[in-house]
Structure 1
Amino acid sequence: MKILIISDTHDNKAFFKRLGEWLTDRELDTAIHAGDHISPFTIDWMGEAGIKMLYGVLGNNDGEVKLLYKKYSDKNWILKDLINDFEIDGVKIAVNHGTMTELPRILAESGRYDVVVYGHTHHKHLEWIGNTLLLNPGEACGYLTGISTYMVLDINKMEVEEVRLNL
């Protein structure tokens, strides 16, 4: 199974349009969002892009938190505040925005998870810590670099594809 991993979308509608085009003909309908959605309407864009299941956390810039929770809940998606931990096909995953900069590494070093995902920095990061894959997909919005970055995780092979979109 492959999972789309994004973070720091920051209301960038152009990203969601390109993401929807990119997802066409790909078997990717599960996603992880590591925070900084910003506005709740971006949740609708995730659905329009073809996402059927989304696991997310709040970021430091997310506004209208109650409405974000409602949007997730309406779709039976799962949003948490600080840490969202769950299991998909036997793979234990934790998601944290990364505002507390050491927390993602602490989660990875705990050995409790197979994968730890974080965002916040807008910079891609991929590292094995023991048997745990620690990754940051970079910035989906592309505001700092002009390039939208995200990742696709194959949880059966524990392999990561890094994706770049020019917006």
Structure 2
Amino acid sequence: MTGTAPQTDNAFRLNNGDTFPTLSAELVGGGTLNLPADLAGGWSVVLFYRGDWCPFCRSQLTDFQKHLEQFSALNVKVVALSVDSQADATQTAQRHDLKLPIAYGLDAQDTAARIGMYTSDGSDGKPTYFQATGFVLTPTGQVAVALYSSNAIGRLNAADTLGMIKYATKNG
């Protein structure tokens, strides 16, 4: 794929056991998401998606939405974040009837510097966005899984994530 080469200026990536950095973003429908504080007390999934325009991202979000009751039954919170505008994030949530919290308006470079994710290089004519990145966090806000994609594919899916959390909670 040309025009979307990842920027790799980040000197680090979050590793298993690292505490997830503090991050705040506005939510579709109102309010603010404060990570990792709002997720404390139970396992959680944090999905950074490229934007409303990305079909792979929309597929991932709908996959997690389809499994949301299973996550809720395990006391697992799932949240999604992007650089999208409020209008685009709202469109994503409405178009796919997403009930999981959707945060928007993040600054790609600032977020990438704190999280360690890849970003677009802007050569595709779109504003800079981050590449798909996903985390599974422990109840104490520590990284249990970090999955960094350098382009459109390579991301968490709901079934594997559910299986991993079930295994981790059963086997400590």
TM-score, length of structure 1 as denominator length: 0.38
- Greater fraction strand: 1
Higher relative CO (CA 8 A, sep ≥ 6), structure 1 or 2? 2
- Higher-Rg member (1/2): 2
TM-score, normalization by structure 2: 0.37
